[in-house]
Amino acid sequence: MNLTKKDLSAILKKELRLSFDISDSLVDEFFLSVKSTLRSQKNIKLSGFGTFETFRTKERIGRNPKNMENFKIPSHNKVRFSPTSKAKYFLN
């Protein structure tokens, strides 16, 4: 099962007895702050959960499987998640 932003808003509404508008805006603001922090190449460390870190991939050569022509794949930014030992424990 996937957990969507709408589901998170509903959980906040139920647990904290907030209006749906407030819980929805809290979830939106959280994800906006996560996006802006990652865009500025900073890491996000959530204590007891894990760390989101950005890294740059290397430029490499790819191959088109249809015509077997080589082409250059430029380097780009990616996000990596590393769970804490607590998070690994409650998953297993």
* pTM strictly above 0.85: no
Residue 60 has pLDDT above 90, yes or no: yes
Query: CB neighbours of 51 closer than 8 A, spacing ≥ 6?
Result: 43, 44, 45, 81, 82, 84
Q: What pLDDT, on a 0 to 100 scale, did the predictor assign at position 27?
A: 94
User: Do 10 and 46 belong to one domain?
Assistant: no
Shortest CA distance to 88 belongs to which of 46, 35, 48?
48
User: Do 32 and 54 belong to one domain?
Assistant: no
- Band (91; pLDDT cuts 50, 70, 90): confident
What's the structural domain count of the chain?
Answer: 2
Mean pLDDT, the chain, whole residue set: 93
What residue numbers bound the domain in which 18 lies?
1-40
User: Do 60 and 76 belong to one domain?
Assistant: yes
